[in-house]
Structure 1
């Protein structure tokens, strides 16, 4: 073709198609290339790997368990509950890092020093029968903890800290929390876990998905923040950019692109759910996509959805969390109500339920507790058999082996340990006072 002919054809196309030729007139080479580029983009768009949790805030000595910082799960608490000191004593230190309580590093250090001094008194005045070796191990642990707080501790983004240390038994574990915990220190044969129980699942694990005709982002709640773990956002043409297409045909084309986009987002969310073992899901999007999108989800994913809400079109993670939080709070309140209703029904028929401290401690000692129900703030004195570990509310001899019972500082921690080591879980009742008449403690039983 001569240059004159090419110029004439170009001028004709410019006059007939001022907005550019319709797609069917594009060269096959350009069409094929566009398809290949689009497919390549979708191949490289995949779920982002989660950021690895820091392995801890200080390096463990050779042979010790390395510090762990991350989500608080029932599996993790069960592992901690199973520990029992055999060579030394375990120090459990909790530190409140709420900026309103400890705004400066100096404030934190002053409170750390006070907690360590309190723990140190156990090494000097006993705190139970301690031989010379155990006392030396306790002093060494306290020195190491003081050095760690001075040189390695980083409070950035942390609202609370639990530090568990027992050098003679090779234990050094940190747990960072997304909610404040009250300052406390305890020296015992076991780790003090009761303050962590109310935090399980509250600030971690939930998925928030922002879904729209173009947007498709999946976030995971981790430590009061939403971290993006997948992005399937697409650039879908607007309804009025049809060029030379007929209006009806162009709208069908756009709706097909939107449908493909929503299916990709749904498939991505399905993969996230399978990987995270059925987390709670909050969906954020306009009414126009809700029914269509939910129908595209797998049944297991749809069962995890706790509700829809709306946000600005380009809302970031912080804004999405603010609109999702009311749905999460309502879900927890509903869960508490359902568990209490189940307990009342079972208790009314002398079914699989324990009521009050005496019955519940007995059931926990027998390994029968499936779900422990604890009123927030409740506690009671308790006694434990040093031989078999059985706990009860009265002092005296163990009913199983006759061993003299020993006093426990906190009954709640004792019953929590028994529940966790036997595979049960715990629900702290925050929003209701239904358990007050029975002393704040009850349980749903396996048998």
Structure 2
């Protein structure tokens, strides 16, 4: 199973963290097993990341002496964490580490999918890569044929088999002296009993809130019958069908298929949200495009979905006392202190998460809807 320590609550807490006495050292480590499948390869990846971290810490000058000393101390702590016998990577394909000793911050998150290795030093944790891992939807995969049922529950990266049963049904060797019609009716009655048991098990798990969405893996010719046996509260959770060998497929094979299925679903969802953004923008209602308009909407707490191109980075202004954000040439409503940031993205994401807005980071090569809007846009809850 793939570990995932990212939850919406932890993401919001990190996004809301502001360094007061020190600076936040954010590190992402790629542990893709296809690239780092040996201890030597992992050691090389860790060494490259730590080398980059040392360079970033040495080059960082936007802090007083105590904050810079704190960064050096944090770097030593990270080096200890990433020692070959200490690295907390069990079940992880990536790691995110946030350290700010002067402000008592040390957070290590295991990630279920690879991330690009990088180091960022700033006043707030670099959380943009984590927005892809915060989905807490619990899935149930029911693998069902005419006699066997297996159930797996969890996130796509951590599905675990939680139960199974195999009902005895009449086989060809059981026909004995029965007529063909009587034997066939007996077989169908056994199947009906079996499917009713499946339906009851899924309904009980749904009532106990053990899963949010359901995927059925059944032989093609049995799909309609299995689905028809489900009670209404289970059918409402049904998200789709998978084609798998119910009896022989391994849990890891199921997890791989489900991860691919969910990723395709995320891509479809991103396209739907971007299409909705384009529609609202064309109607000149409930949409902001371009960094200046999006920052205004964020400050006014009107954002429903923040849309960003992956790798988006733009300079901006911030008032640390009021959390106002803007671009060069804009001024806050009060005469507060103004900080200039080479990249305002993290502050924009933090402000979006604080108002429970959705943050959707999309590939600029797959999704061109934001290209004319400076790589950033927003769907709004309401207009001014």
TM-score bin (small chain):
0.7 to 0.9
1:380 to 314, 318, 335: 314
Residue by residue over 1:77-124, the C-alpha shift from the partner in whole angstroms, topping out at 9 and shown as x without a partner, is 112212223343322111111245444434433443444454456665
Q: Which of 320, 335, 341 is equivalent to 2:254?
A: 320
Q: Which 5+ residue runs of structure 2 have no aligned equivalent?
A: none
Contact 1:92 1:162 in 2 (8 A): yes
Between 1:369-378 and 1:235-244, the stretch displaced more is 235-244
Structure 1 partner of 2:229: 296
Secondary structure, counterpart of 1:86 in structure 2: coil
The match for 2:188 is 255
Once the two structures are superposed, residues 245-275 of structure 1 have per-residue CA deviations (whole angstroms, 9 ceiling, x without a partner) of 5544443333233222222222333444455
CA contact (8 A) 2:349 2:359 kept: yes
Q: Contact 1:159–1:180 (CA<8 Å) still a contact in 2? A: yes
Asked if 2 retains the 8 angstrom alpha-carbon contact of 1:74 and 1:425, the reply is no
Shift in Å at residue 300 of structure 1?
A: 4.3
Partner of 2:374: 439
Counterpart of 1:426 in structure 2 is 359
Equivalents in 2 of 1:271, 1:72: separation in Å?
Answer: 28
Cα distance in 2 between the residues matched to 1:118 and 1:224: 30
* Aligned residue in 2 for 1:149: 82
Contact 2:310 2:362 (C-alpha < 8 Å) held by counterparts: yes
Greater length-normalized contact order (CA 8 Å, ≥ 6 residues apart): 2
Q: Deviations over 1:370-394 (max 9, x none)?
A: 11122233332222222212222x2
Shift of 1:348: 2.0
- The residue that corresponds to 1:187 in the other structure is 121
Q: Which runs of 5+ in 1 are unaligned?
A: 1-50, 54-68
- Residue 350 of structure 1 aligns to a residue whose secondary structure is coil
TM-score of the pair, normalised by structure 1? 0.74
Count of aligned positions: 378
Q: Quote how far apart the aligned CAs of 1:163 are.
A: 1.0
When residues 234 and 128 of structure 1 are mapped into structure 2, their CA distance, relative to the original with a 3 A threshold, is farther
| Comparing 156-165 and 294-303, the one that deviates more | 294-303
Within 5 A, what are the aligned runs for 1:38-187? 70-120=4-54, 126-132=60-66, 134-150=67-83, 151-187=85-121
After superposition, where does 1:172-251 map in structure 2 within 5 Å?
A: 172-201=106-135, 205-220=138-153, 222=155, 224=157, 226-238=159-171, 240-243=173-176, 245-251=178-184
Contact kept, 8 Å, 2:278 with 2:369, in 1: the verdict is no
Distance 1:278 1:409 in 2: 43
TM-score normalised by structure 2 residue count: 0.85
Cα root mean square deviation, aligned: 3.0
Residue 414 in structure 1 maps to residue 360 in structure 2: no
Q: Which has the larger radius of gyration?
A: 1
8 A Cα contact 1:232 1:264, kept in partner: no
Matched, 1:287 2:231: no
Matched residues in 1 for 2:272 and 2:96: separation?
Answer: 31
302-311 or 101-110, which deviates more: 101-110
